[in-house]
Amino acid sequence: MRKKYSKQEKQEIIRRYKESGKTASQFGRDNEISAINIQRWIKIEENKSNSAAKESDANFVEIKKDNFVVNSNEQTFTPSIVLACNGCALQIADGFNQVTLKNILAVVKEL
């Protein structure tokens, strides 16, 4: 009779397997778990992670142009947008070239 593993048990087994430094076959033999199951569970977890990353990339956030930057020389207000992600911020002045912005965002996305 095959043993059914809960989601938490699978995650714990995967964690222990990765920490062991052993091959899936070695770890499976030592723990009486099929190496094929271990590899399948890892693949499923990786696919879930990749799907979640793709979903987060597809989400849009409304950006309001209510940030203003003061030019210290002229004391005038210039509308701008600030995009922040992973500790980096990009400030875009009103009227910024859209093609250049698209190229910059493509590079940032790769980081």
Q: What is the pLDDT of residues 47-60, one digit of tens each?
A: 887 776 666 555 55
**pLDDT class for 69, splitting at 50, 70, 90?**
very low
* Statement: the pTM of the whole predicted model exceeds 0.75: no
Q: What is the C-alpha separation between 65 and 104, in angstroms, rounded? A: 19
Q: Find the mean pLDDT for residues 30-37.
A: 94
CB 101 within 8 A of CB 93: no
Beta-carbon neighbour count of residue 105 at 10 Å? 14
Average pLDDT over residues 76-93: 65
